[in-house]
Amino acid sequence: AQSVTQLGSHVSVSEGALVLLRCNYSSSVPPYLFWYVQYPNQGLQLLLKYTTGATLVKGINGFEAEFKKSETSFHLTKPSAHMSDAAEYFCAVSQSNTGNQFYFGTGTSLTVIP
Amino acid sequence: KAGVTQTPRYLIKTRGQQVTLSCSPISGHRSVSWYQQTPGQGLQFLFEYFSETQRNKGNFPGRFSGRQFSNSRSEMNVSTLELGDSALYLCASSRTGKTGELFFGEGSRLTVL
């Protein structure tokens, strides 16, 4: 069975500060990992994904994440927060043998303080 | 390139009624998935269709059903609505049948009174 845990349902950072959103997963086979962002009244937009290869993944809007197999983690970071980064962030896991069935974390709401 | 289109965007129903939601995937995408999003349960997988066949199904009662047409458009139906069915229903399409990037629509927000 697969599951995703996002530590911290709410995270606040000052504008210009480091953003760190935590994600841990459990998977019985090598996982595919994703981070999505959701703005109010909108669907989800892909930030970045890890499938195979390089464990440090760069995404859109300056975000990146590192796959650490030993820690079963896939934390999302951004060096300097912008006001426009305020949104809900979801970590998701899937497996190659389950098609497009994704398991999402409960989300982390990011607030950026001016 | 047009994105994933869901209709209607908002709807209000009463308990016991049924509802049908529609999803038009991105052109060329053959996989369509449905998710239910609620504040309490988060995003939960309903089902996935690929080339008109249901490939995966989440842990929802039989009142939730779906189908996919030959043009890849998909519909989901919820019968005998309950208050707890109030949610944002999100459709996502993907180009391939293997695990790939999901492209989400803006969702259909269902309120059950």
In what helix (H) or strand (E) does residue A82 lie, and over which residues does it extend? Answer: none
Residues in A 47-86 with any Cβ partner in B closer than 8 A:
49, 51
Average pLDDT for chain B: 93
Task: State the pLDDT at residue A97.
Answer: 67
The mean pLDDT of B2-30, rounded to a whole number, is: 96
Contact state of B90 with A99 under an 8 Å Cβ cutoff: no
Nearest CA in chain B to A104: B43
In a mutational test of the A interface, the residue from B102, B103, B108 whose CB has the highest number of chain A CBs within 10 Å is B102
* Mean pLDDT by groups of 10 residues along chain A of 114 residues: 88 97 87 92 91 90 94 96 96 79 93 96
pLDDT at B95 over 80: yes
Q: Is the peptide bond before B61 cis (omega within 30 degrees of 0)?
A: no
> Which distant-in-sequence residues (6+ apart) come within 8 Å of A71 by Cβ?
A24
CA dihedral B29, A32, B91, B55 (to 10 degrees): 70
Task: State the pLDDT at residue A54.
Answer: 84
Number of CB atoms found within 10 A of residue B51's CB: 11
